[in-house]
Amino acid sequence: MVLQRATHRLLRSAAKALPRQQVRQLSIHEYQSHKLLIEFGAPVPKGRLVRTPDEARSAVNELGPCFIKAQVLDGGRAGGVFDNGVQGGVRAVRDPEEAAALASQMLGQRLRTRRSPKEGHAVNELYVAETVPFDAEWYLAMTIDRSNYAPAIIISKKGGRDIDVIAQEHPESIHTFNFGLSEGITQALVSDISSKVGLSAPETESLAPILSSMYQIFSQKDGTLLEVNPLAHSPDGSFTCLDATFTFDNSAVHRQRDMFALRDRSQEVADELEAERHGLLYVKMDGDIGNVVNGAGLAMATNDAIGFHGGANSNFLDAGGKATKETMQQAFGIITRDPRVKAILVNIYGGLTRCDMIAESIIGASKELDIRVPMVVRLQGTNSAEGLRLLAEANLGLHVESDFGRAAQRVVELAKAA
């Protein structure tokens, strides 16, 4: 039972690493993940990246029966729906003409999945991969177990679905194995996996080099989550990496320039990209309360406090310790352009960030942006008294609170009353 609870915690952590909207980790497309697997010696189906129906026709003519897969950075593509009503972002085709016809229906459309934003993602590329005979779909991942301060391998014989679905429907099928990053994939680790998962000799012989390949990618490329799902199990006990979704540590950008050159900004949220250009950490969320906060920890605490009082954030915005008047006004601009926002909470604890500068930013934003939603302001720390004086003199009709909890409660009340 203890092990099962630990596994569930790890799965929740892994699920958070999955990029619903590019949450500050580098995610790469399936075809790019396949290239990495090939480079490091793992078995994958032959495939071709295509951008036109004619290219899809040529690929299937060369490879034979194939799967055509929309290249978007979202899970659940197979169950997705395109704007034109076409069902499924992963489809099997038998001949070149069928491939061309299907590609014409997929390219240039937007695909919505259970993980995507409401507007979905534009499909500009398709990956055409040959079919591989198999008798079962497994799940395999390598990620970081933060509870145990070690990397971990997650494996299940119930693959082909998102890991959260597997965990809900077949929790007993999931096995987790910690290992040392410096030791890598040892014979002892492989034997332990083989014993606890119940692998045959051919299965063990096939899985071991795949684990070694994933470990090399994980360690050399600063991986945070490498998912192979499904891992195709063939009747002879061999495995093939059918689909792969890889995520890498965003803080490794200076070490991994070749990896970060693969970043597909067309799949990202426009407001998040704009915030990044101004040195702001902004993540779009699903609620109706906008936030301007300095510091990631305070931003997370603010999110929790708003949730505790029955509200929901429209964004996570960390202005950081080096925010300027100009960048703060950009932050207000991004938040106030969001039509979902019914109230705004400014929660600043002044250290490097001066509260009087924040007050000047609020005043400037109010004049330039015509902010029409109520705003709650909490300023504490460096020059907070001066900041509060400036706001009082500006007479902007703000709701000023000194208590953290009361500020969160007040903004929720205002949003619900709007």
73-86 average pLDDT score: 91
Q: Which residue has the higher pLDDT, 394 or 67?
A: 67
- Would you say the C-alpha torsion 321, 325, 327, 330 has a positive or negative sign? positive
- Fold identical between 46-130 and 136-261? no
Non-local (6+) Cβ contacts of 353 within 8 A are 294, 319, 320, 321, 322, 323, 381, 382
Annotated binding-site residue numbers for Mg(2+):
229, 243
**CATH of region 46-130:** 3.30.1490.20
For the whole model, what pTM was predicted? 0.73
Residue 253, pLDDT > 70, answer yes
Annotated binding-site residue numbers for ATP:
69, 137
244-263 average pLDDT score: 89
Residue 3, pLDDT > 80, answer no
Q: Which residue has the higher pLDDT, 149 or 8?
A: 149
58-76 average pLDDT score: 94
361 band by pLDDT with thresholds 50, 70 and 90: confident
31, 127, 139, 215: the active-site residue: 139
Strand partners, 145: 150
pLDDT per position as a tens digit, 86-115:
999 999 999 999 999 999 999 999 999 987
Q: Which CATH number fits domain 136-261: 3.40.50.300, 2.40.30.10, 3.30.470.20, 3.40.1350.10?
A: 3.30.470.20
Residue 82, pLDDT > 90, answer yes
Most confident of the following: 95-104, 159-168, 373-382: 95-104
25-50 average pLDDT score: 96
**Rounded to an integer, what distance in angstroms lies between the CA atom of residue 4 and that of residue 20?**
26
User: Is position 139 annotated as part of the catalytic site?
Assistant: yes
**Rounded to an integer, what distance in angstroms lies between the CA atom of residue 245 and that of residue 225?**
8
Q: Per CATH, the architecture of 270-417 is what?
A: 3-Layer(aba) Sandwich (3.40)
| Lowest model confidence (mean pLDDT) among 64-78, 169-183, 202-216, 270-284 | 270-284
Domain boundaries, the chain: 46-130, 136-261, 270-417
98, 227, 272, 401: the active-site residue: 227
User: Contact 364/325 with Cβ under 8 angstroms?
Assistant: yes
Annotated binding-site residue numbers for substrate:
294
Cα distance from N-terminal residue to C-terminal residue, the chain: 46
User: Is position 130 annotated as part of the catalytic site?
Assistant: no
19 band by pLDDT with thresholds 50, 70 and 90: very low
* pLDDT of res. 279: 74
